[in-house]
Each structure stands twice: as structure tokens, then as C-alpha cells.
Structure 1
Amino acid sequence: MLRTAAGSRDSPVRRDFAPSEADIHAADLNALPGLLLVATQADTVLYGYGWNSMVAFRSNMHTIVLNKGDMMLMRGDYMYSPAGCNSNHLILHGYLDTELYLNLE
């Protein structure tokens, strides 16, 4: 779960998995696990920076507004950050594993 407390600032930019190496796997959707976010409240705001970026520039920032029950599915190397807000927000956060991704358990 991602929890944003009332009155908090924007969270740091994050990516859940390292980007694919610059080879044939860069465009392979199965090379990395997927990321699933589910908003539990209306007006949940995230900032997205893209999966093919190495640095999160504000000039590339896109504001994403999710309503209650909205789901966002993306590659695991997508760069994003939860925005600060005036009320408590909770986002369910999960991974969609692939057969090709090496799991070190």
C-alpha cells in the first residue's frame, strides 16, 4: 500500500524495477513485471514521468488523477510519484509477475 498523509508534500520519484538494458528487451513487455495501482479515494493524484526516461524532469511530468476504484496498469520501470494532498489517501499497490523475469527469492 502507498499511503499519503494529510498535509504531506509530494513523494520522491520512484520506479519499482530497474529499466531494461538497451537491447532487444527494452521493448519487450514481458521483460519486467507489471505494476498495478488501485485508488481507494477520489482525486488521488500521481505524477508520471514515463518508462523510457532515465531522469525525472519536471518538463516531462504528467499529472494523473484517479477516482475511487480506478486502476492504473504500467510497466515496472515506469517513473512516478504520489502527490501530496490535504487528506489521507491510500493506494493499493501490487505487481504482476512474468515468467521471464528472474525472481531471486
Structure 2
Amino acid sequence: MQGPHRDFSVNFEDGFDYWDYTKVPGTIILAVQDGSRIHGFGWNRIVADLTERFDIVLNRGDVLLFRGEFVHCGAAYQTVHIRIHCYLEPRHYQHPPNTTEIVAVFDPDEIRLPENQCPTCGNTYATRQNMLRHAREKHGLFQNRHR
């Protein structure tokens, strides 16, 4: 199985605009064999939450079209399995060739990360505050404060 990823980065430096559908990059997967499987990961575009995972099954000739920030991964197979994977890049979008954006995996059954470890890249910081600053500045992650 592939690791969960996005085909396109979602940071604003790349010119990604969630609201203008004419500027949103996308992906097309064409099944050339029956039983092509893609794992999707719910609504959350920040982490791959294993409790939100669902399977998309494609048969020969089926086409799957999704937005560039959709968190997904290819399923594991016992034999060679082929599908065609194409990127849809808007004219102005700058995408580094042959790259995807790896996504942190949230598995509630696993031991939680230390509070000073970044959930996205795994870097460890001296304090929780330093980690939160890093997560906000580097990955655009914000902590919800409950009052």
C-alpha cells in the first residue's frame, strides 16, 4: 500500500485557491483492470485519519476524478495491478515534477505522539510551544483552543 498523500500541495505559496474551482489542480485515475482500489481519508485535509478511511473500487473503464488536495493512497495487491494516473494542472499552477505531499497518519489505536513532536513531519522541539509555532508556520496547522 502507498502511504497517504495528496497529489498537490495545499499551501498558499503554490497558488492553491480552495474557492476558485478554475484554479484547483486535480487528478484522474483510469482503471484498466477490474478491482482497482483507492483508499480515501474522509473530510480532513490535514491528516489521514484511519477511522475515516473508505475504499473506492474501480472496474475496467471506470474513471475517478478528484481535487488535488484529496488525501488518498493506492491499495496493496497480491499481483501486479495497473491503472493510469494523470494530473490536471491549471495553466498558472506551479507544481514540482514527480512530487506528492505526504500526509501524517492519525491512528487512534497507536500511542500518541509526544506533545512536543510535530504530527506532520515528526520533528521534535524543546517545548510544546515551539512545536505549535513550527506547525503553524511550516504546515499551516492551528490548534483549536477550547474554553
Which bracket does the TM-score occupy, shorter chain normalised? 0.7 to 0.9
Aligned residue number for residue 5 of structure 1: none
Which of 87, 91, 94 is the matching residue for 1:99? 91
* 1:81-92 matched pairs, under 5 angstroms: 81-92=73-84
**Amino acid aligned to 2:84:** L
Alpha-carbon displacement from aligned partner over 1:48-92 (angstroms, at most 9, x marks no partner): 114652000111111100001111011111111111112211110
Question: 1 or 2, which has the higher strand percentage?
Answer: 1
More RCO (CA 8 Å, sep 6+): 1
Q: Could you say what secondary structure the match of 2:55 adopts?
A: strand
* Higher Rg: 2
Q: For the Cα contact (< 8 Å) 2:42–2:49, is it kept in 1?
A: no
1:104 CA drift (Å) = 6.8
> 2:56 pairs with 49, 57, 64, which one?
64
Whether 2:79 is the aligned partner of 1:80: answer no
Partner SS, residue 30 of structure 1: helix
Q: Classify the secondary structure of the residue corresponding to 1:56.
A: strand
Identity %: 31
TM-score by length of 1: 0.75
- Quick one: distance in 2 between partners of 1:27 and 1:66? 28
Structure 1 residues 76 and 51 mapped into 2: Cα distance closer, same or farther (>3 Å)?
A: farther
Once the two structures are TM-superposed, the CA of residue 98 in structure 1 deviates from its matched residue by 1.4
Out of 30, 36, 55, the position equivalent to 1:44 is: 36
TM-score (norm 2): 0.56
Q: Which amino acid aligns with 1:15?
A: R
**Unaligned runs of at least 5 residues, structure 1:** 1-9
- Tell me what 1:16 maps to: 7
Aligned length: 94
Does structure 2 retain, via aligned residues, the 8 Å contact 1:51–1:77? no
Return closer, same or farther for 1:82/1:104 CA change in 2, 3 Å cut-off.
closer
Pairwise CA RMSD of aligned residues? 2.3
Name whichever structure is richer in helix by fraction: 2
Contact 1:51 1:75 in 2 (8 A): no
